[in-house]
Amino acid sequence: MIKNERQYQFTKKRLEDWEITLHQLQTEPAAKTPDWVLKAQIDGAKEEIRQLRSQLKEYEELKKGKKQLPDLSVVHSLPVLLVKYRIAHNWTQKELAEKLDMKEQQIQRYEETYYAGASLATLQKIAGVLQSQKSA
């Protein structure tokens, strides 16, 4: 993801470089390069170009206000959702803590304070476990 104008300009330059590389591969293949190697190189260059174009398009659409963004209100409901997911899995705080390699008391503190002291990385880890695990 492109996060600023500097990265945008850098990505545009990378795209230009890859387009030149692709053109060279298609018009002036290296001597004695097996066809399967040349095909792999061309396919790799095309994929890199596709990804770079996609990143540039997303950044441009965001800057122009043309990209629909999700509602951020979910951030406020995240602590309650984490508790609800735990309950829906029929997990105790202890069971969730074990799956996260944490102490039960830590989960108790998080839930008591609605995860106020948890880092974003911790919230993502907990959400990942809750989202991916099947009910026991």
pLDDT tens sequence across 8-42: 999 999 999 999 999 999 999 888 999 999 999 99
**What pLDDT is attached to residue 4?**
98
Mean pLDDT of 56-71: 94
**What pLDDT is attached to residue 136?**
46
Angle (CA) 105-110-112 rounded to 5° is 90
Contact, 60 vs 7, CB < 8 A? Answer: no
Region 74-132: CATH code: 1.10.260
Residue 135 scores a pLDDT above 50: no
**What pLDDT is attached to residue 85?**
96
**What pLDDT is attached to residue 134?**
60
Mean pLDDT of the chain: 94
Mean pLDDT of 106-110: 97
DSSP collapsed to 3 states, the chain: CCCCHHHHHHHHHHHHHHHHHHHHHHHCCCCCCCHHHHHHHHHHHHHHHHHHHHHHHHHHHHHCCCCCCCCCCHHHHHHHHHHHHHHHCCCCHHHHHHHHCCCHHHHHHHHHCCCCCCCHHHHHHHHHHHHHCCCC
**What pLDDT is attached to residue 70?**
87
pLDDT tens sequence across 85-106: 999 999 999 999 999 999 999 9
Residue boundaries of the structural domains of the chain: 5-63, 74-132
Distance CA 86, CA 88 (A): 6
